[in-house]
Amino acid sequence: MVDSVKSPHSMCPYLAVKGAQAAIDFYVQALGATVDFRLIDPSDGRIGHAELLFGTTRVFIADEYPDFGAVGPETLGGSPVKFHLNVADADAFVAHAVQHGATSLRAVKLEFHGDRTGLIADPFGYSWFIASKAEDVTAVEMQRRWNSMAGPASDSGSPS
């Protein structure tokens, strides 16, 4: 086991996309990201590396570099990765994102876990759960609600 006192842990996603500059522009306009910095590949003008901030969460992004093994969802035919973004008002946030080119995959609604949550797709192949806290729900209550939604045969689940 790694000693976290000697080796602090931090993690952020690294997105590869076709058209990183367009993706950066979309994330800024539609999802409220801010650009910390970007490095332009002097040989061909691609975004070699950029860092965006979604609140306090850092996300790395770059254009595709197939020779380096960095390819995006469009090249791969989709992505199994979904992001979860907490915002103050999920309804307004999703409406704004859709206005700027996102596609609504699931309308915002109150979920059993206490968040108002919707799902959008960005134009670059990634999906984003957009959520805002509506009520505080304990793990035990979440499990009870989930069991209730699933029907009488599912009463054996317990939160961990």
- State pTM to two decimals: 0.85
DSSP state letters, 20-76: HHHHHHHHHHHH--EEEEEEE-TTT--EEEEEEEETTEEEEEEE-BGGGTB--HHHH
The C-alpha atoms of residue 68 and residue 60 are separated, in whole angstroms, by 16
Residue 2 sits in the same domain as residue 40: yes
Please state the φ and ψ torsions of residue 131, each to the nearest 5 degrees: -140, 145
| Residue 1, pLDDT score | 47
- Burial code (b: 16+ CB inside 10 Å, e: under 16) for 29-53 equals ebbebeeeebeeeeeeebbbebbbe
**For 49-89, how does the pLDDT look when each residue is reduced to its tens digit (9 = 90+)?**
999 999 999 999 999 999 999 999 999 999 999 999 999 99
Q: How do strand 115-121 and strand 127-133 relate by DSSP bridges? A: antiparallel
Gyration radius (Cα) of the chain, Å: 19
Pair 47, 107 in one domain = no
105 and 124 within one domain: yes
Number of domains in the chain: 2
Containing structural domain, residue 7: 1-77
Indicate if 46 and 97 belong to the same structural domain.
no
> Tens place of pLDDT for every residue, the chain, 160 residues?
445 556 566 789 999 999 999 999 999 999 999 999 999 999 999 999 999 999 999 999 999 999 999 999 999 999 999 999 999 999 999 999 999 999 999 999 999 999 999 999 999 999 999 999 999 999 999 999 999 998 776 545 555 5
57 and 97 co-located in one domain: no
- The amino acid that residue 52 corresponds to is L
Q: What CATH number is associated with residue 46? A: 3.30.720.120
Evaluate whether 18 touches 72 at the Cβ level (below 8 Å): yes
Tell me, yes or no, whether 63 and 129 share the same domain: no
